[in-house]
Each structure stands twice: as C-alpha cells, then as structure tokens.
A and B are shown apart, each in its own frame.
Chain A
Amino acid sequence: MPLIKIRDLHFYRGDRAIFEGVNIDIYRGKITAIMGPSGTGKTTLLRLIGGQLRPDRGTIEVDGQDVHKLSRSELYELRKRMGMLFQSGALLTDIPVFDNVAFPLREHTDLPESMIHDLVLMKLQAVGLRGARDLMPSELSGGMARRVALARAVTLDPMMVMYDEPFTGQDPISMGTLVNLIHKMNDAMDLTSIVVSHDVTETAEIADVIYLLSEGKVIEKGSPVQLKRSSSQWVQQFMQGLPDGPVPFHYSNVSLADDLFAQEESA
C-alpha cells in the first residue's frame, strides 16, 4: 500500500489549470521523483501534499489519512511526521544553525536541553556541518543552508521528506553532496523521499521511480531506465534536454512573416 495516494487531483490558479486529473502513488522506503519543466506545478504538488493548499477536486491520502479532511490539530500532528526541505532552505534567519535544527524539538517535545544538544549534534554530524553549529544562516553558502535545512527536516525522525528543487543553483560539489545525502538518509533512516526537480542527471541517479508532469497531467512514469528508453518524443526531449521538439522553442505566436508584414501594413 502506498504511503501517499493522489487520486484525480485537480487544482486551478484562477482560470489556469495546474493539475487536471493527476494520479500518483508514492511507496514507502522509495525515492520518488516528480519531474517536469518549470511552471508545471511541482512545488504546488508538495504544498498540496503538506496541506498548505486545498485541491479543487480529488484526494490526497498520506499514511491512510485524507490530508484535506483533517482538522487543524490533526493536520499539524501529521506534519510532525513529514519533513520538508524548501528550495531556499527557509532557515530562521535570526537564530544560529544549532537553534534552527533544535527548533522542532523545542517546539514539540519537552526533552531536556542536554538531550536536545546531543540530538542536534548528531543530525548536524549526519549532514557534515557539526562545525558550523554557531554560524548564522547569512554566513552559510547555498549548499550548506540546504544541508542545515535537511538536518532540521529530519530532526523529529519523520516518516517522509519532501525535497523542493534540492539541486537548483548548486555547484557540482554541493550537488554531489546533496545527491549522496538524500540517498543515504533515505536508506539509513528508513524514509520515504519525494524529490521535486528538473535536474535530470542528478535525480535519475537516485530515484527509484520518476513521474513526469506536464500541462497538468502525468505524461509518463517509471524507473529512470524505463524513461530513458521511452518511445515518447516528449519524454526524450525532456530527459535529453533537447532545445526543440514537442515542447517548441518559440512561445506560441503568429508566424514571423505575418508579424513582420503586419507591421509594414500598419506603417
């Protein structure tokens, strides 16, 4: 039975359809990647799973609970078992690294400070930043900030972690570190990971299953190998990063000749 079951998901922003009938299953212990071009609503999907947005139609079940039928307190209980890594890291900027990682423990548990100290150091050790505990978030590089955010996301030992574009804007070393961390954490902590990304190479390296989204629908799903062998031109264009194909290089428009002549006529 999947940990997350998304059925017939419809979501609109104004008149624009972001999702139209999306079905996704995310299985326990696996790394599931949600991929697609920018603007396809990948981050929106994570916010729907986390209950920060409500779908216009359809259901999202997490661990057997319909996220959007829960009361506020039930939703908050569920969120304690969900970790989320935001694209920006979303660290609290007025407190140092240590306090950021300790934040969920101090908010949700009555553990003594000495135990919080040990737990935080263990999480920071896991992401290789035990030495950075006293730094402020403004003193961290982008990659370090995401690793701190990852340590914070797993502080309460959640059942799942959602990663929002974890590789965007990272140098090759940081990218490699993050790829490695996501993979290791998933195995070592028996997590279920959902990685939203458009970095094909890095994501394909660690994902067990990939869902490709475009124009509000699931275009294809399967293992990275299956997708690379897919006969769909769209899938091939995305996986190989080809500039032109079923997704055209030009934004839809009248032909260039018509545009030029129209200007001459009006002159």
Chain B
Amino acid sequence: MKKIYKEALTYILIGLAIWFLIFIFFPSKGLEVGRVAYNTFVQAVKIVIAVFLFIGLLQVWLSSETLSKIMGKEAGWAKYVISSTVPIFIGGSLFSIFPLLSALLEKGASLGAILTFITAWSGKAPLIPLEIHFLGLHFTILRTIMVIPMALIIGVVGELILEA
C-alpha cells in the first residue's frame, strides 16, 4: 500500500513541477492548465465514488471460491460460456486478476478458459458509468458486446496454439 502512495506522490510532484515551469514561461497557459485540471478533478471525483461502490459490491457478491468451482475442467464446454461472460463484471487491473487466474489454473481450469477469462475481463462492467460518460452509450454497448466473441476466439485459438 505504501508503494502506491509513493508512486502517486511522484506523479503529483512531477505534474506540479511541469505546471510550475509552464507558469514561468507561459503565465496565461498556466492559468488555463489550472482551470482544466480543477474541472477534470471535480468531474472525476463524482464518478470515481460511484465506480468504487460498484466495484466493492461486485467483489463481495462474486468470491473467487465460487468462480473456481464453476470453471473447473469437469465443467466441459460450459466453462467457455461462463468464462466469456462472468469476468465482464469483475473489476481491478491485470495485476489483481493474475493471482486469481493462477489459482484457477492450479485447481484444474483449462488454458482456454483462462485465456477467455482474461479477455472477457476487459468488458469492465464496473466501469460502464465511466465509459458511457467519456465515450458515449453507442461505443460502450458495442464494445461490451464485442468482448464476448473476442474472448471466445482468443480462448479457443489460444488453447489450440498452446497445446499443439
């Protein structure tokens, strides 16, 4: 946790240093930077609160134990159906799902299911409010729906390549 704070602080300091330099050389541009930064911050705070509540709820409702049970090797082709849709509702970054997936792999999930899972996870349902706000409803719906066939193709083709 401390590393995250340190990293965040580094970015903030670098940002402030650049802002300071802009202020010295182009004072009017510096004011504009401040105004845009303030507006973006206020907008982001509102959405981030909603998004984090959403992520929290989903993490509680969908435990990793439940997922391991559903995606076991004995689940047959049904695991493709599940691993191409369920991960859409999970939040976090690649770093946070790798440990979960390696646990699934140890419990006997197939490589195809893992590949499908990672790709389907990019659907990012918890971030949908954010996506609609910045990129529009049409884009969001189209991208989220297209994640499913993409996940299936990568899962099936990837397994063929890896097990060849």
Q: Do A and B assemble together?
A: no
